[in-house]
Structure 1
Amino acid sequence: MCFSSSASFVVAAALLPLGVASVRYCLAQRRSELLPLAFSPLFFSAQQALEGVVWLGLAPGGPGWLVHPAALGYLFFAYAFWLAWFPWCVLHLNRQAPPALRRRLLQIALVLGLLVGAGLWLPLLLDGSLLEPVVVNGSLNYTTTLLADRWISLGLGSTVYGLLISAPLLLSSSPRLRWFGGCILGAFLITHLAYGYAFTSVWCFFSALLSGSLYWILRDPDPHAVLVA
C-alpha cells in the first residue's frame, strides 16, 4: 500500500467539514455529552495534516527541518492522545448513572491510557534522537526507541495499545459506537498482520477514514442508544 503527502492532506481536508458538521449538530441539539466524540474527526484531520508535513519534509529537496516537529506532533496523537481520549469520550456520554462495572472499567482504561501515553510520548519529546521517521515500502515508519522495548515485544506492546483504544468503544451501549469500535479493532488486526513495518502510520490512516462515520453515529435516531455508556 502506498501513501503520500497528497493522501494525508486529502483525508485531512475531507474530515474538516465532517468534524465541523458533527460539532454544529451537537450544539444545535444541545447534546453536550456528545461533543467530545464530535470533535474527534477534527483531531484526526489535524493528525493527518501533520503526517502530510512529514511526507513533504522527507521528500527530496523538501523542508527537512519540519520532519521532527511534525512527527512529534503526529505521535502525540498516536501514542498519547487517543489512548486517553476514547475512554474519556465514552465516560462523558452518560455522566449521571452509568452501570457501575462499566464505569469502573472505563476509568481504569482512562488511567492506563494516560500512563501508557505519557510513557510512550514524553521520552520522544525530551530526546529527539529517539525518533527517526523513514519511508518503508511506500509507507511511513516512525522508528521510535521506547522505554519498554527491552521488556515488551513489539507484538505484545501493539496489542495492548490496540485494546486500550478499541475496548472503551466496545464497552458502549450504543450499537453504532460498538460498530465503530469493532471497525477500529478490525483495522488494527489488518494493519498488524499486513503492514507491521509501518503499523502506527497505517492504522492511524485507517482510523482517520473510519472517524468520518462519527457524524452518522452521532445522528442516531435513538438518542438513548448513544446516551447510555
Structure 2
Amino acid sequence: MCFSSSASFVVAAGLLPLGVGAVRYAQDQQRNDLLPLALTPFFFALQQALEGLVWLGLDPDGPDWLVHPAALSYLFFAYAFWLAWLPWSVLQLNVQAPPLRRRWMLQGLLVLGLLAGAGLWLPLALDGSLFQPTVVQGSLNYNTTLLADRWINLGAGSTVYGVIITVPFMISGSVRLRWFGGSLLVAFLITHLAYGYAFTSVWCFFSALLSASLFWIIRDPQPQALPAH
C-alpha cells in the first residue's frame, strides 16, 4: 500500500464536512455528551493534514524544516491525544448511564491512557533526536525511540495501546459504537500484522477513514446517558 501527501490531504478534506455535520447534529439535539465523538473527525482531519506536511517535508525538493515540527505534532495525536480522547468521549456518553461497573472501567482506561500518552509523547517533545521520519515501502516510519522500549517489547506495548483505544467502544451501551470499536480492532490487527514497519502511520490512516462513520454512529437511537436537567 502506498501513501502520499495527496492521500493525507484528501482524507483530511473529506473528514471536515462530516465533522461539521456531526457537530451540528449534536448541537441540534442539545446533546453535549455527543460533542466529543462529533469532534473526532475534525481531529483526525488535523492529524492527517499534519502527516501531509511531513510527506511534503520529506520530498527531495520539499521544505525539510517542516518535518520535525509536523511529525512531533502528528505523534502527539498518535501517542497521546487518542489514548485519552477516545476513552473520554465514550465516558461522556455513559457518565450517568448504568451500570456503574462500566463507568469505572472507562475511568480506569482514561487514566491509563493519560499516563501512557504522557510517557510516550513527552520524551519526544523534550528530545527531537528520539524520532526521525523516513519513507519505508511507500509508508511513513517515524523511527521513534521510546522510554518503554527498555521494559516492554513491541507486541506487549501495542497490545496495551490497542486495549486503551478499542475497549471503551466495545463495552459501550451502543451497538453502533461497539461496531466502531470492532472495526478499529480489525484495522489494528491488520496494520500490526501487515504494516508493522509503519504501524503508527498506517493505523492512524485507517482509523481516520473509519472516523467518517461517526457521522452515522452518533445518530444511534439508543440512549447513551440520562437527559441533563
* Paired-residue identity, %: 74
**Helix, strand or coil for the counterpart of 1:190?**
helix
**Helix, strand or coil for the counterpart of 1:135?**
strand
Check whether the contact 2:97–2:225 (CA below 8 A) recurs between aligned residues: no
Residue 201 of structure 1 pairs with residue 163 of structure 2: no
**Distance in structure 2 (CA, Å) of the matches to 1:110 and 1:74:** 21
Counterpart for residue 168 of structure 2 = 168
Q: Which runs of 5+ in 1 are unaligned?
A: none
Deviation of the 1:159 alpha carbon: 1.2
- Greater mean alpha carbon deviation, residues 172-181 or residues 86-95: 86-95
**Distance in structure 2 (CA, Å) of the matches to 1:26 and 1:171:** 22
Deviation of the 1:113 alpha carbon: 0.1
Deviation of the 1:223 alpha carbon: 3.8
Check whether the contact 1:174–1:227 (CA below 8 A) recurs between aligned residues: no
**Distance in structure 1 (CA, Å) of the matches to 2:76 and 2:125:** 9
Output the amino acid matched with 1:156.
A
Deviation of the 1:98 alpha carbon: 3.0
**Distance in structure 2 (CA, Å) of the matches to 1:163 and 1:192:** 14
Deviation of the 1:92 alpha carbon: 0.5
List structure 1 runs of 4+ shifted beyond 6 angstroms. Answer: none
**Helix, strand or coil for the counterpart of 1:140?**
strand
**Helix, strand or coil for the counterpart of 1:81?**
helix
Counterpart for residue 55 of structure 1 = 55
Question: CA-to-partner distance for each residue in 1:63-96, whole Å, 9 max, x for gaps?
Answer: 1000000000000000000001111111101322
- Greater mean alpha carbon deviation, residues 148-157 or residues 42-51: 148-157
RMSD over aligned Cα, in angstroms? Answer: 1.0
Counterpart for residue 106 of structure 1 = 106
Paired residues in the alignment total 226
**Distance in structure 1 (CA, Å) of the matches to 2:176 and 2:36:** 16
**Distance in structure 2 (CA, Å) of the matches to 1:67 and 1:208:** 21
Counterpart for residue 133 of structure 1 = 133
TM-score (norm 1): 0.97
After superposition, residues 215-226 of structure 1 pair within 5 angstroms as 215-220=215-220, 222-224=221-223, 226=224
**Distance in structure 2 (CA, Å) of the matches to 1:94 and 1:179:** 17
Counterpart for residue 121 of structure 1 = 121
**Helix, strand or coil for the counterpart of 1:143?**
coil
After superposition, residues 1-229 of structure 1 pair within 5 angstroms as 1-220=1-220, 222-224=221-223, 226-227=224-225
TM-score (norm 2): 0.97
**Distance in structure 2 (CA, Å) of the matches to 1:130 and 1:69:** 13
Deviation of the 1:31 alpha carbon: 1.0
Check whether the contact 1:90–1:169 (CA below 8 A) recurs between aligned residues: yes
